[in-house]
Amino acid sequence: MGINKVQFQKGLSMAAFMERYGTEEKCHAAVVALRWPNGFVCPECGGTRHCTFESKGLHYWQCSACREQTTVMCGTILQATKLPLTTWFLGMHLLTQAKNNVSALELKRHPGVRYKTAWLLKHKLMHVMSEREASRQLDGRVEIDDAYLGGELPGGKSGRGSENKVSFIAAVQTTDNGHPLFVCLKKLEFTKKAIAAWAKTSLAASARVVSDGLWCFTAVTDAGAVHERTVTGGGAASAKMEQFTACPPAASSTARRDSRDATRNFQATASKVGIRRCKHSAGRFFA
Ligand SMILES: [Zn+2]
């Protein structure tokens, strides 16, 4: 059986993490290097000349021009925190390395903090991750599809039109060979108006969108994107259509192999974010 490259991709081991970020000094140095990679820059006036001093266990920078005193954590989610930086860093590591998310309860056990602290830590980190991604626009080749989460209540219709599921759009930016680069998931109703609004914030005008025949997807052109729409019908065969494998008609065997990898990678990516392809329909995703 072949190895799934997405699932087997190299991560940062706990041993390597502790080696890099196991002490307050190492974490502090990492924040300084990230915030001021070319040396101190005053957040007030942009000046670079400064002196430093310690007060109440904190390291301060004082701008020589405007006399502003600041720590490296001012203006970040770390500002005024009472938690050690090692706890923040461990929280970031656990939250970003786990395949299936980390509960606040699990986050409480590893650094040994109270549940409420772990819950706040998790939500603050998720909030800044969400803010960071909010401005990202998918560009180049983008596969989109309708997806559905939930459905624990018995009865009702399955898939699209289900009363029990939450509908959202799943969009994946890929290379021309179909390798996934970025995933965007957004809860929305499948109407032309909602798709047009989503496209304006989440798609670059130069994006090339590939989708099945769901009528409302045509609204992505409102954002300037090119839309390649393919009516698939149902059945497993439609999942193998060239339009969804990013493989040109006269593809070489290498490209065809890349294409199969791309399909598997896309499915793995979808699986990683908690979505699986419904085996009865090529274009649908269900949780
Ligand atoms: Zn200044």
Residue 81 CA to ligand 1 centre (angstroms) = 24
105 or 230: which carries more pLDDT confidence?
105
pLDDT category of residue 236 using cuts at 50, 70 and 90? low
Residue 54 CA to ligand 1 centre (angstroms) = 18
- How far is C-alpha 252 from the geometric centre of its chain's CA atoms? 32
Residue 43 CA to ligand 1 centre (angstroms) = 7
Q: Which residues contact 276 (CB under 8 A, 6 or more apart)?
A: 267, 270, 285, 286, 287
209 vs 147: CA distance, rounded Å? 16
Residue 29 CA to ligand 1 centre (angstroms) = 21
Predicted pLDDT of residue 212: 84
Residue 261 CA to ligand 1 centre (angstroms) = 52
User: Residue 111 corresponds to which amino acid?
Assistant: P
Taking residue 244's Cβ as centre, other Cβ atoms within 10 Å add up to 23
Q: Which residue has the tokens 């939930």?
A: 150
pLDDT category of residue 248 using cuts at 50, 70 and 90? very low
Whether residue 116 is predicted with pLDDT greater than 60 in this model: the reply is yes
Indicate the pTM of the whole model: 0.68
Residue 51 CA to ligand 1 centre (angstroms) = 11
Residue 41 CA to ligand 1 centre (angstroms) = 8
Cα 245 to Cα 6, 12, 217, 218, 268: the distances in Å are: 17, 31, 19, 20, 14
Predicted pLDDT of residue 148: 83
Residue 76 CA to ligand 1 centre (angstroms) = 18
**Lowest-confidence range among 21-30, 197-206, 253-262?**
253-262
The domain locations on the chain are 14-36+72-134, 141-286
Cβ atoms of 96 and 60 closer than 8 Å: no
CA angle, 95 as apex, 91 and 99 as ends, to 5°?
A: 150
User: Residue 285 corresponds to which amino acid?
Assistant: F
pLDDT category of residue 279 using cuts at 50, 70 and 90? very low
Predicted pLDDT of residue 134: 83
